[in-house]
Amino acid sequence: MAKGTVEIDTARCKGCELCVVACPTDVLALSQTFNSKGYYYAQMAKPDECIGCAGCGYVCPDACITVYKQK
Ligand code: SF4
Ligand code: SF4
C-alpha cells in the first residue's frame, strides 16, 4: 500500500480541525500546546497510518499542509 507523510506549517495553522476530520485513517490530531498565534495546531499523531491521499491538504483553508507520497 502507498504510504505518505505530511508537512504542516504549524505556525500558520489556525486549529480549525478540518484536516483532522478529513483524514480517512485518523493520522492527524490537534496539539496539546499553542502555536505563537495562540491556536492548537494540527500534527501527525499516527504518522505510520498516512496513505498519502492528500485529503488533508485539499481541505486546509490556509494551505498549511504539504503532502508527500512515498513508494
Ligand atoms: S495525506 Fe491523507 S492519510 Fe495522510 S494525513 Fe493527509 S488525509 Fe490523512
Ligand atoms: S485544516 Fe489547516 S488550518 Fe485547519 S487545523 Fe488543519 S492544518 Fe490547521
Model confidence over 12-23: pLDDT tens digits?
A: 999 999 999 999
- The C-alpha cell at 59 is 481541505
29 C-beta closer than 6 A to ligand 1: no
The grid coordinates listed for 67 are: 503532502
> pLDDT band for position 70 (50/70/90)?
confident
Ligand 2 proximal residues by C-beta, below 6 Å? 8, 13-19, 42, 59-60, 62, 64-65
Q: What is the pLDDT of residue 2?
A: 61
Q: Determine the pLDDT at residue 23.
A: 98
Task: Report pTM.
Answer: 0.94
Asked if 21 and 71 count as a contact pair (C-beta separation under 8 A), the reply is no
Distance CA 65, CA 8 (A): 5
Q: What is the pLDDT of residue 1?
A: 60
